[in-house]
Amino acid sequence: MNVTLFNTGRLYQRDGQWIGYARLASLAPDFRTHLVAFCDHSRMVDGVVTIRGDVTDDSVLRAYDAGGYGAADYEVQRTLAKATFDAVEKARTERAP
């Protein structure tokens, strides 16, 4: 699973709000609509959003903030949560003084 990690800068934790996401599928007929699983590591919230257009940090955050997300398949969410946790720990280590 190819996970993208970003920090919103919102202070849900001392070092911000970490969110990981992965595109699950691009839907026909135009393949410009995407199902994206996300994991908000900082708030322990996860789900799946539908994004029309480019999948970016901003588009994932907008869809998440809008609250229209559903539950992800257990295995998908478990895999994403582990990958996000590992990426956050790596980012924190790299930022440490």
Domain that holds residue 29: 4-95
Average pLDDT value for the chain: 92
Residues near 56 by Cβ (< 8 Å), separated by ≥ 6?
none
CA distance 95 to 48: 29
pTM: 0.87
CA distance 63 to 79: 21
CA distance 84 to 10: 17
- The answer to whether residue 45 scores a pLDDT higher than 70 is yes
For the stretch 50-86, pLDDT in tens is 999 999 999 999 999 999 899 988 999 999 999 999 9
The pLDDT of residue 97 is 61
CA distance 48 to 84: 15
Q: Number of folded domains in the chain? A: 1
